[in-house]
């Protein structure tokens, strides 16, 4: 069984945590954490790289010794040094470190003084009020730990971006209405448009006498006030979302915006460039010899280190700094570049609205074209179309196109099922009458990596195959991606003149950011599609755009930025 990058990253993270608890050198610990981050963010399989004899030291934060360890992990599934650490420190201690308020020192104290090795032990120790007697702990700490532990049990997942927006928008409106509040930005992964958000980091500037800090903790949705100072406060909302508010001087707003937008790895890289130039960069500004020289805008920060502005979606330390230095930052795609939608359903199958209503909704968004891609017959639960019903729909599309009089052009399409043997579930005769065919895996998610890959590649051999829909099949927080050699699938798509979808449904966002970027680099074209089941669903497009931007996509990488003529040329194979 080949080991996944995620598992390698987990081992390295656990190594870092146990070293931390063991009191090892802080920079050695960080080296493991950085290497784990590199491994976790990689799209192509490290196991495959190792087998191909690739030089792993080319990866950021991976040196000779780390490369050797990763090789050993790939070969044996284990890490000797970690095994040795685990003789004295239970692996579960690493999980205790995830609990907010517990770091390496306290975890070690709990382990040594109370024999607490995991969350269940901790819960018992807290209930017996034995924690407050451990040196460095007290009654208050015991209380907060009890709350955090209970909280964690009911809410441990990151929040999808769309939900985060629904929580953030009313809070932002509430804060903006407080006396004296001037500027407000939600920073952090929210601003980087990451597919899920851990917590909200809100930055405000305000008049000196503004009651914003007090008003924040009084917000009606606040469940618990975690901390409450003059310039910084943290609350837990009743939804389970943690929110940090920071009050900043106007002059420092740009520097703070940069600092709190992150990512942490990006910030460290920028600060290091600052240090090389004799500058200190923190959330209050850019300093030379303790003298503040700028920091009112984010551009000030980038100016200080000689870089052009880097869009928040790119700030993940995935090469954006090198690209900025070389003047090769992408011109990221924007919502306004989108010219149509290539995946939508009507009430003929599992959509909620008529063909005409969908056409009108798409036209209202200024689109030049909309592909109607109802389900095919294999998806019986969705009342999938057989050849006869599809033929009827095609006639209806013709009639409607006439009535629409050029306001928008409906494309004849279908969402085909890729069957287990790699065939498509409608005959070629009817498929040849269509403008495009979107093809999906909707069942048999548990095939082996080899079989799933072959299944899709075989389907692409059919010359009617145009776009592979939601290529990984994952549902955020609900269903992991099926096992697939995505690199081979992309390669196969490029060879055959097929394309891949970035499905914009907020719970799919599939392809993800890293995979979108890999597809781009391999020369694939991507359709950003909403998979709309109602007219309102066309608004999901913005989430697809966010993910695409995080994947470094430019208008030229995307199918549905094209004019109708260009699109039709690209769909020919």
Partner DNA sequence: GCCGTTTTCGGCCCGACTGTTTTCAGTCG
Residues in touch with DNA (CB under 7 A):
25, 27-28, 30-32, 34-35, 57, 60-67, 81, 97, 99-107, 132, 135-142, 144, 188, 199, 201, 227-233, 242, 244, 260, 264, 267-268, 271-272, 275-276, 280, 282-284
Give 3-state DSSP helix, strand, coil % of the chain, rounded to 5. 50, 15, 35
Q: Residue 279 or residue 310: which is nearer to DNA going by CB?
A: 279
Q: Residue 104 or residue 295: which is nearer to DNA going by CB?
A: 104
In the complex, least distance from residue 378 CB atom to DNA, rounded to whole angstroms: 46
What DSSP element (H or E) covers 173? helix 161-176
* Strand arrangement, sheet containing 285-288: 280-282, 285-288, 291-294
In the complex, least distance from residue 152 CB atom to DNA, rounded to whole angstroms: 11
In the complex, least distance from residue 211 CB atom to DNA, rounded to whole angstroms: 15
Q: Residue 45 or residue 242: which is nearer to DNA going by CB?
A: 242
- Specify whether the CB–CB gap between 186 and 201 falls below 8 A: yes
Q: Residue 268 or residue 394: which is nearer to DNA going by CB?
A: 268
| Residue from 429, 526, 427 nearest 468 by CA | 526
- 383 in helix, strand or coil? coil
In the complex, least distance from residue 264 CB atom to DNA, rounded to whole angstroms: 6
Kindly tell me the sign of the dihedral angle through the C-alpha atoms of 504, 505, 510, 513.
positive
The single-letter DSSP state of residue 89 is S
Between strands 369-372 and 340-341, the pairing is parallel
Q: Residue 79 or residue 567: which is nearer to DNA going by CB?
A: 79
Spatial separation of the C-alpha atoms in residues 529 and 438, rounded to whole Å = 10
In the complex, least distance from residue 369 CB atom to DNA, rounded to whole angstroms: 43
| Residue from 535, 507, 500 nearest 521 by CA | 500
Between strands 222-228 and 199-206, the pairing is unpaired
User: Which own/partner contact pairs does 486-490 have at CB distance under 8 Å and 24+ positions apart?
Assistant: 486/43, 486/515, 486/518, 487/43, 487/44, 487/45, 487/48, 487/518, 487/522, 488/453, 488/457, 489/453, 489/456, 489/457, 490/518, 490/519, 490/522, 490/524
**Helix and strand totals (H; E) in the chain:** 24, 17
Spatial separation of the C-alpha atoms in residues 121 and 127, rounded to whole Å = 10
In the complex, least distance from residue 547 CB atom to DNA, rounded to whole angstroms: 23
Q: Residue 71 or residue 365: which is nearer to DNA going by CB?
A: 71
- 234 in helix, strand or coil? strand
In the complex, least distance from residue 195 CB atom to DNA, rounded to whole angstroms: 19
Spatial separation of the C-alpha atoms in residues 32 and 552, rounded to whole Å = 27
In the complex, least distance from residue 283 CB atom to DNA, rounded to whole angstroms: 7
In the complex, least distance from residue 424 CB atom to DNA, rounded to whole angstroms: 46
In the complex, least distance from residue 209 CB atom to DNA, rounded to whole angstroms: 17
Which are the contacts of 432, defined by CB distance < 8 A and separation ≥ 6?
A: 464
Q: Residue 240 or residue 422: which is nearer to DNA going by CB?
A: 240
Q: Residue 12 or residue 493: which is nearer to DNA going by CB?
A: 12
- Specify whether the CB–CB gap between 70 and 8 falls below 8 A: yes
In the complex, least distance from residue 326 CB atom to DNA, rounded to whole angstroms: 14
Q: Residue 263 or residue 393: which is nearer to DNA going by CB?
A: 263
Q: Residue 23 or residue 480: which is nearer to DNA going by CB?
A: 23
Buried b (16+ CB within 10 A) or exposed e, 69-97: bbeebbeeeebeebeebbeebbbbbbebb
* Strand arrangement, sheet containing 499-503: 340-341, 369-372, 409-417, 436-440, 467-468, 499-503, 526-529
Q: What is the DSSP string of 421-452?
A: TS-BSS-HHHHTTSSEEEEE--S-TTS-HHHH
Spatial separation of the C-alpha atoms in residues 448 and 395, rounded to whole Å = 41
Residue carrying the six token digits 């017996």: 128
In the complex, least distance from residue 60 CB atom to DNA, rounded to whole angstroms: 5
- Specify whether the CB–CB gap between 374 and 385 falls below 8 A: yes
Spatial separation of the C-alpha atoms in residues 319 and 17, rounded to whole Å = 27
Q: Residue 33 or residue 437: which is nearer to DNA going by CB?
A: 33
In the complex, least distance from residue 63 CB atom to DNA, rounded to whole angstroms: 3
Q: Residue 223 or residue 427: which is nearer to DNA going by CB?
A: 223
Q: Residue 186 or residue 338: which is nearer to DNA going by CB?
A: 186
């Amino acid at each position: 069984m080949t080991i996944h990058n995620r598992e390698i990253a987990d081992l390295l993270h656990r190594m870092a945590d146990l070293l931390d608890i063991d009191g090892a050198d802080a920079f050695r610990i960080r080296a493991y954490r950085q290497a784990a981050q590199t491994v976790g963010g990689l799209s192509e399989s490290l196991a495959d790289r190792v087998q191909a004899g690739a030089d792993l030291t080319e990866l950021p934060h991976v040196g000779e010794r780390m490369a050797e360890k990763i090789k050993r992990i790939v070969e044996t599934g284990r890490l000797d040094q970690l095994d040795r650490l685990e003789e004295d420190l239970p692996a579960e201690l690493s999980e205790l470190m995830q609990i907010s308020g517990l770091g390496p020192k306290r975890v070690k104290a709990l382990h040594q003084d109370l024999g607490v090795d995991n969350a269940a032990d901790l819960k018992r120790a807290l209930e017996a009020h034995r924690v407050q007697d451990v040196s460095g702990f007290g009654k208050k700490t015991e209380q907060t730990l009890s709350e955090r532990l209970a909280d964690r049990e009911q809410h441990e997942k990151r929040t999808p971006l769309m939900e985060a927006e629904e929580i953030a928008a009313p809070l932002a409106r509430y804060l903006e209405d407080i006396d004296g509040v001037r500027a407000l930005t939600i920073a952090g992964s929210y601003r980087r448009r990451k597919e899920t958000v851990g917590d909200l980091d809100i930055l405000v500037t305000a008049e000196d006498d503004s009651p914003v800090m007090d008003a924040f903790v009084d917000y009606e949705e606040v469940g618990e006030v975690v901390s409450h100072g003059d310039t910084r406060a943290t609350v837990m909302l009743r939804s389970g979302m943690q929110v940090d508010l920071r009050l900043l001087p106007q002059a420092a707003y740009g520097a703070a915006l940069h600092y709190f937008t992150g990512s942490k790895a990006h910030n460290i890289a920028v600060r290091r460039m600052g240090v090389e130039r004799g500058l200190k960069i923190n959330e209050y500004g850019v300093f030379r010899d303790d003298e503040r020289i700028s920091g009112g805008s984010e551009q000030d920060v980038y100016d200080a280190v000689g870089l052009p502005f880097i869009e928040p979606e790119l700030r993940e330390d995935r090469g954006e700094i090198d690209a900025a230095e070389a003047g090769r930052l992408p011109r990221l795609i924007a919502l306004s570049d989108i010219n149509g939608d290539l995946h939508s359903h009507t009430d003929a199958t599992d959509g909620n609205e008529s063909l005409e209503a969908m056409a009108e909704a798409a036209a209202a968004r200024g689109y030049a074209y909309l592909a109607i891609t109802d389900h095919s017959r294999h998806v019986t639960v969705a009342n999938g179309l057989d050849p006869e019903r599809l033929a009827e729909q095609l006639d209806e599309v013709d009639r409607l196109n006439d009535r629409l009089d050029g306001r928008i052009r409906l494309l004849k399409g279908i969402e085909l099922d890729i069957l287990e043997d790699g065939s498509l579930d409608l005959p070629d005769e009817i498929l040849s009458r269509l403008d495009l065919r979107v093809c999906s895996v909707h069942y048999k998610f548990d095939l082996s990596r080899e079989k799933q890959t072959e299944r899709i590649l075989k389907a692409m051999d059919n010359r009617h195959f145009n776009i592979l829909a939601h290529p990984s099949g994952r549902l955020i927080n609900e269903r992991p991606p099926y096992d697939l050699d995505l690199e081979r699938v992309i390669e196969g798509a490029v060879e055959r003149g097929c394309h891949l979808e970035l499905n914009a449904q907020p719970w799919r966002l599939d392809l993800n950011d890293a995979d979108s970027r890999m597809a781009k680099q391999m020369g694939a074209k991507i359709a950003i599609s909403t998979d709309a089941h109602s007219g309102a669903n066309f608004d999901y497009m913005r989430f697809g755009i966010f993910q695409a931007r995080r994947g470094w996509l430019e208008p030229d990488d995307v199918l549905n930025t094209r004019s109708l003529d260009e699109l039709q040329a690209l769909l020919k194979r």
